[in-house]
Amino acid sequence: MDEKQLKRAMELISVAGTAKSMCINAMNQAEKGEIDTARTTLKDAKKTLHEAHNIQTKWMTDEMNGEKVEKSIMLIHSQDHFISADIMMTVAEKVINLHDEIAQLKAKEQVNG
């Protein structure tokens, strides 16, 4: 894998990993009852994942335009990071929504006694 491809792979791993970590942080915030903070963190994670998507799209576009892309373990690893971050985004959104619903039900239960 040439240096340009290696740099792309490492950048995709880094950006996607950051997005994944932000999703985990958002779920932890929701678990603590910090729903608004969790939603803000998730929104920021989506922006970061979009950066990763742009890296991947540029990479694929370059290949379609004739740039040779060596299929390597690093390429596969970077794609794994991207897709796991994308999946984590979906899971985090669901988890935050569930914690929000639980908090609302608990609040309603306290009012109705």
Binding residues for Mg(2+) are 80
Clarify whether 50 is annotated catalytic.
no
Question: Is residue 41 within 8 Å of residue 12, measured between CB atoms?
Answer: no
Q: Catalytic one among 53, 77, 81, 99?
A: 77
Give the span between the Cα atoms of 51 and 70, in whole angstroms.
22
Q: Is 20 helix (H, G, I), strand (E, B) or coil?
A: helix
Binding residues: 80
Q: Which active-site residues does the annotation give? A: 77
